[in-house]
Amino acid sequence: VKETGTYNLEVSNSSNCSVETEPVIVTVSESPSIPVIVYSGSTTFCNGDSIQLLVTNNPSLNYQWKLNDGTIGIDTNKYYAKSSGNYILEVSNSVGCVALSSNSVDVTVNETPTIPSINLSGPTGFCAGNSVIISVTNDTAYIYQWKNEFGNITGSTANQITIVETGTYNLEVSNSNNCFVETETTVVSVSESPSIPVIVYSGSTTFCNGDSIQLFVTNNPLLNNQWELNGGAIGIDTNIYYAKLSGNYTLEVSNSSGCVALSSNSVDVTVNEVPDKPVVSLSGATGF
């Protein structure tokens, strides 16, 4: 019996005598329509992503999504698959009739690389002309691409990069499955160094004790000046210095960021000793 109805059996013998059984009432409930799982996009993706699986919604049905024949426990017409495996859907109605989806969906989730730790060769704030190396431990299974605030840095595909400019830097790490992660950003601030001063003077740098020579550079009120004699600080913070001692004179200038520049030239000064003043002796009167 496959249909709803009332059924009984008549039994007769060769004498044409018959009896009938008690009637049996059979009720056949409608099964739910067989659902079709629909999805868009690739069923192979990286860990952390997902794919939406869905069927046409019917509020009179109960939904039971299954992964590898195990119950997931999600009673909605859509499910976001995030794990590898075979997904099917079972629907049931109010009388307990069940239908399985006409199709299943195989999902493959690829592992993403581990986010590497950033190593720095020094401070990320420094003066122009210096640099900092940003690096990670090298892993030949990974592909590296350094980035700044403008996007990929052309040619920077090693596990380290030397930074000489202000900017925001990070590293994208990908594997053979094209799954990738990005490190946290490193902010680098490069301060301008002062212009290199040129020491100017006039006259001979060789003179007698008691004289001097003026050494000077173009004045810049934003800079600190430090004159040096034979590499030692003299302690004069002006753009002009009167050299009175023998030795090698240089100038170091610094700005508010602490960036320093040394003069492009040095001045060698030679101070000669003067003779001792002699004592005059008289042989007689100075009036005669």
The Cα–Cα gap between 146 and 164 comes to: 14
CB 212 within 8 A of CB 204: no
Q: Is the pLDDT of residue 284 over 80?
A: no
Q: pLDDT tens digit string along 257-281? A: 999 999 999 999 999 999 888 887 7
Q: Is domain 206-272 in CATH 2.60.40.10, yes or no?
A: yes
Q: To 5 degrees, how large is the angle CA 217–CA 218–CA 223? A: 90
Superfamily, domain 119-191: Immunoglobulins (2.60.40.10)
Is the model's pLDDT at 91 over the cut of 90? yes
Confirm if 67 and 79 have CB atoms less than 8 A apart: no
Average pLDDT over residues 50-66: 97
CATH 2.60.40.10 matches 1-6+18-110: yes
Is the confidence at residue 45, as pLDDT, over 80?
A: yes
Query: Cα–Cα–Cα angle for 180, 184, 188, nearest 5°?
Result: 130
Q: Where in the chain is the domain with CATH 2.60.40.10?
A: 1-6+18-110, 119-191, 206-272
Nearest to 101 by CA among 85, 120, 77: 77
Who contacts 221 (Cβ-Cβ below 8 Å, separation ≥6)? none
Cα-to-chain-centroid distance, residue 244: 56
pLDDT at 23 over 90: no
**Mean of pLDDT over the chain:** 95
For residue 109, the tally of other CB atoms under 10 A from its CB is: 21
- For residue 121, what are the CA distances in angstroms to 85, 158, 182? 45, 16, 20
Rounded to an integer, what distance in angstroms lies between the CA atom of residue 182 and that of residue 155? 18
